[in-house]
């Protein structure tokens, strides 16, 4: 092929793709997920059963809650394999009051063991970030197979992304 034909073909392709990308087709708003009110990043502390003593001398760790692929009442609690090693699926039990819990002996993906999450709740505007911003707070309890009979308590606040609120 001659250079002129190649240049013409490239120019035609560029124009065709450019014009096509400007064409809005249908509704471009993908919407949300069923558990989007439960989703976010959180600064959470794991406590001993007394609810006051940090478990194993730990402090705040970054956790995430995010929807499951099934887009139903299920979502994940995930500490990114950081401290308590929890990545388990839980279920929204009340979408209005933002409560949740897990199944007994639910699979815990980091250790290959099990965990039972109970009494989970998100409190809208119920917390204060490290920098003093009013944010949502979260609470739940968990019993792990590696320490049966001990129910750890978890509490924290939503991450804002502001520099003053980072650990």
Lowest mean pLDDT among 10-19, 98-107, 120-129: 10-19
Q: What is the pLDDT of residue 9?
A: 61
pTM confidence score? 0.82
Contact 99, 139 (CB under 8 A): no
SS (HEC) of 47-107: ECCCCCCEHHHCCCEEEEEEECCCCCCEEEEECCCCCCCCEEEEEEEECCCCEEECCCCEE
- Give yes or no for residue 143 having a pLDDT over 70: yes
Query: 165 in helix, strand or coil?
Result: helix
Q: What percent of the chain has pLDDT over 70?
A: 84
Mean pLDDT of the chain: 90
Q: Confidence band (pLDDT; 50, 70, 90) for 69?
A: very high
Rounded to 5 degrees, φ, ψ at 101 are: -160, 170
């Amino acid at each position: 092929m001659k250079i002129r034909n190649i240049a013409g073909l490239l120019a035609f392709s560029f124009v065709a793709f450019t014009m096509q990308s400007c064409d809005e087709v249908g509704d471009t708003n993908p919407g949300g997920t069923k558990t989007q009110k439960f989703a976010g990043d959180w600064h959470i502390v794991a406590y001993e059963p007394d609810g006051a003593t940090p478990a194993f001398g730990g402090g705040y760790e970054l956790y995430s809650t995010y929807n499951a692929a099934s887009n139903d009442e299920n979502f994940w609690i995930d500490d990114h394999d950081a401290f308590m090693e929890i990545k388990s699926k839980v279920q929204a039990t009340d979408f209005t009051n933002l409560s949740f819990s897990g199944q007994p002996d639910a699979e815990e993906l980091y250790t290959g063991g099990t965990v039972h999450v109970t009494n989970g709740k998100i409190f809208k505007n119920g917390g204060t970030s490290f920098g003093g911003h009013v944010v949502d707070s979260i609470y739940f309890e968990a019993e792990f197979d590696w320490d049966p009979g001990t129910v750890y308590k978890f509490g924290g606040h939503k991450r804002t992304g502001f520099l003053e609120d980072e650990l």
